[in-house]
Amino acid sequence: MKTLLSSTHMNITLQRLAHQLVENHLSFADTVLIGIQPRGIYLSDRIARLVKKISGNNNINYGLLDITFYRDDVHTTNIQVPSHTDISFSIEDKNVILIDDVLYTGRTIRSAMDALIDFGRPKKVELLTLIDRRFSRELPVQPDYVGYSVDTILTQKVKVYWDEKDGKDEVVLIEKNTEIK
Amino acid sequence: MALSVKHLLGIKELNAQDIEQIFQTADNFKQVLQRPIKKVPTLRDTTVANIFFENSTRTRLSFELAEKRLGADVVNFSASGSSVSKGETLIDTVNNILAMKVDMVVMRHSASGAPWFLAQHIDASIVNAGDGTNEHPTQALLDAYSMREQLGNLKGKRVAILGDIMHSRVALSNIYCLNKLGAEVVVSGPPTLIPKHIESLGVKVEYNVKKALEWCDVANVLRIQLERQHKPLFSTLREYALYYGVNKQMLDSLEKDIVIMHPGPINRGVEINSDVADSKQSIILNQVENGVAIRMAVIYLLSGKRDMNE
């Protein structure tokens, strides 16, 4: 097991990502944040909080998107019980920032884009991710905002720990074969 | 996570966790049904056959809408006007339909146990849409789901089931379902329409409808199943309405506002009066609305199992 981001490092990275968002979207008048359920919402909660603080706009639209019904592996994996979707605003003609913790094959993001389009036609969709596992994409998906890039192989797994859920902030690289079965 | 069963044949075979999982999934589908685009692509590679050997309006439409809103392809079959009248057996009929690459079967049949019989002979998942006087699981699920929406957690809640308990598959499935969710159940109606020893299912019997209404938080009023009664069990419908029908005057005399439910089709003026069926206490149309979300949840949760069995 190797630590990719320590707690201090992770918080500096989150600060940078939030600043980059504000740099590009200023007051967030036409921009909304959407976290992908279930794993992306810890990151999106943090980012939403930081962006509100930095931009001074407390009324930023922030929603959660569940992609269970849009997955392409319904018949190959065990059936998943969905988490809830909460998008209480219009995304029509808005800039949407999709937020997920780890970008790997790109399939989740493909599903998320399909799910998103069912809520309206956004002007632009961008992707923010804490960890980008490079060279492992199965679909042509690239992030616009990256916390940390890492080169991994198939047998490795990236695990993100969140203070709210796990009692600590940390990102680690795990050798799948030896440590998890 | 997945359901503990491959088919939804009856509530009897489900556990409380399965029911909770179906409700949780239905919550999400209910949300989908309120969007401008009421459809998800989840089962776009799945074909479902609705095979109805008995008449149905609500259940069949509800299943068909649920399937279509999950993105599945749907074929419909009804016994009247089919080769069943030429003497084809149930297994042959279903196998012929499955030979056309159908992944799931939703079946209603007048013989109790028909879906269990079928499950022994085919590989596809089966959803029981009502078998004889036995079970109607999706109705019980949507009833309990609708009750939960009104009353919160059903543990300790009091449910009265009124009417033709003997011939009603809705009653039996409701009893199983409510028991598993921890609700208390009383059945009420004419003694000739209440099976002997029904107490062994964990319910109480109250022959006086007024007393049952006074006791309960929610009353599920059932239709008299005249088509299943082969000998006279009460003298006239008028007499039944007089002694066992629910009317507004009766409801107004109660100390609290109870929730009124009915699985449909309603026989207005017999088991329930129009002034009750159309009152604010009635959630009959909410039940129909929830039916689509519940059936989407059931079909979705059963469909993931396909590859595990191949």
DSSP string, B193-246: GS-TTGGGGT-EE-S-HHHHHHH-SEEEE----GGG--S--SS-HHHHHHHH-B
Residue A100 main-chain phi, psi, to 5 deg: -140, 155
Quick check: A81 and B24 CB within 8 A?
A: yes
What CA–CA distance (Å, rounded) separates B199 from A12?
A: 66
Bridge partners of residue A161, in order along the sequence: A170
Put simply, the answer to whether B40 touches A82 (Cβ < 8 Å) is no
Query: Which among A118, A91, A98 is positioned nearest to A35, based on CA atoms?
Result: A98
Confidence of residue A178 (pLDDT cuts 50, 70, 90): low
- Whether the CB-CB separation of B163 and B229 falls below 8 Å is answered with no
B140/B261 Cα distance (integer angstroms):
12
Residue B265 counted as an annotated binding residue:
yes
Percent over 90 (pLDDT), chain B: 79
For residue B217, give the nearest of B181, B189, B184, B177 by alpha carbon: B184
Rounded average pLDDT over B187-203: 95
Strand order in the sheet with B204-205: B204-205, B184-188, B158-162, B218-221, B259-261
> Using an 8 Å Cβ cutoff, are B157 and B147 in contact?
yes
Interface residue A82 vs chain B (CB under 8 A): yes
Examine the pLDDT at A62 and tell me if it is beyond 70: yes
Write phi, then psi, for B139 (nearest 5 degrees): -65, -45
Task: Characterize the bridge pairing of strands B184-188 and B158-162.
Answer: parallel
Q: Do A77 and B304 touch (CB under 8 A)?
A: yes
Looking at the DSSP bridge assignments, the partners of residue A32 are A96
The reply to whether residue A66 touches residue B28, judged by beta carbons under 8 angstroms, is yes
Average pLDDT (A43-64) is: 94
How is residue A114 annotated by DSSP? H
Predicted confidence (pLDDT) per residue in B73-94, tens digit: 999 988 876 777 778 888 898 8
CATH number of B11-136+289-309: 3.40.50.1370
Question: What's the token pair of residue B155?
Answer: 């543990």
Averaged pLDDT for residues A120-142: 95
Which CATH number fits the domain B137-284, given the four candidates 3.40.50.300, 1.10.390.10, 3.20.20.80, 3.40.50.1370?
3.40.50.1370
Question: Is B264 marked as a binding-site residue?
Answer: yes
> CA-to-CA distance for B210 and B252, rounded, in angstroms?
11
Q: What is the pLDDT of residues A157-177, one digit of tens each?
A: 999 999 999 999 999 999 876
Kindly state the tokens that stand for A112. Answer: 């998320």
Phi, psi of B138 (to 5 degrees): -65, -30
A77 reaches B (C-beta below 8 A)? yes
Map out the domains of chain A as residue ranges.
2-73+82-179
Q: Which of B175, B166, B232 is nearest to B194 (CA)?
A: B166
In a 13 Å sphere around the CA of A2, the CA atoms on its Cβ side amount to 9
- Has residue A52 got a pLDDT over 90? yes
**Of A130 and A152, more confident:** A130
- Count, residues in chain A: 181
Q: What is the pLDDT of residues A113-122, one digit of tens each?
A: 999 999 999 9
| CB neighbour burial string for A48-75, b if at least 16 within 10 angstroms, e if fewer | bebbbeebebeebbbbbbbbbbbbeebb
Of the ranges B37-41, B217-221, B263-267, the best mean pLDDT one:
B217-221
Largest CA distance in chain B: 59
For residue B195, is it left (φ>0), alpha (ψ between -120 and 50) or beta?
beta
| Average pLDDT along chain A | 91
B104–chain A nearest CA distance, Å: 13
Lowest mean pLDDT of A116-120, A154-158, A176-180, B167-171, name the range. Answer: A176-180
Question: Residue A125: pLDDT above 50?
Answer: yes
Exposed, middle or buried, B38 (CB in 10 Å: 0-12/13-18/19+)?
Answer: middle
Residue B307's pLDDT is 45
- Residue B181 is classified by DSSP as T
Assess whether pLDDT exceeds 90 at residue A54.
yes
> How far does A140 lie from chain B, in Å, by closest CA?
21
Distance from CA of A37 to the nearest CA of B (A): 13
Coil, strand, or helix at residue A102? strand
Q: Do A82 and B28 count as a contact with CB atoms less than 8 A apart?
A: yes
Average pLDDT value for residue range A67-78: 85
Residue A152 in this model has a pLDDT that exceeds 90: no
For residues A98-115, give the mean pLDDT.
95
How do residues B109-146 score in pLDDT, each as one tens digit? 999 999 999 999 998 999 999 999 999 999 999 999 99
pLDDT category of residue B309 using cuts at 50, 70 and 90: very low
Calpha distance A21→B22 (Å, rounded): 39
Give the class (CATH, top level) of A2-73+82-179.
alpha beta
Least confident span in B41-50, B66-75, B91-100, B194-203: B91-100
Contacts of A80 in chain B (CB under 8 A): 1, 304
Return the minimum-mean-pLDDT range out of B149-158, B218-227, B300-309: B300-309
Closest CA to A89 of A167, A166, A32: A32
Q: What is the pLDDT of residue A177?
A: 66
Closest to B302 (Cα-Cα) out of B45, B27, B42, B7: B7
**Parallel/antiparallel/unpaired status of strands B104-109 and B47-52:** parallel
Are residues B134 and B110 in contact, defined by beta-carbon separation less than 8 angstroms? no
Chain A interface disruption, residue of B42, B125, B303, most A CBs within 10 A: B42
State the CB neighbour count (10 A cutoff) for residue A2.
10
Q: Which chain A residues are within 8 Å of B37, Cβ to Cβ? A: 118-119
Of B146, B284, B169, B161, the closest CA to residue B219 belongs to B161
What are B189's two structure tokens?
């109606």
Q: Pick the more confident residue, A177 or B234.
A: B234
Tell me whether domains B11-136+289-309 and B137-284 share a fold.
yes
Confidence at residue B1, expressed as pLDDT on a 0 to 100 scale: 62
Q: Do B306 and A118 touch (CB under 8 A)?
A: no
Are A79 and B1 a contacting pair at CB < 8 A? yes
Output the six-digit token pair for B204: 């109480």
Extract the tokens encoding A116.
């998103």
Burial bucket for residue B252 (CB in 10 Å: 0-12, 13-18, 19+) = exposed
List chain B domain ranges. 11-136+289-309, 137-284
Higher pLDDT, A72 or B188: B188
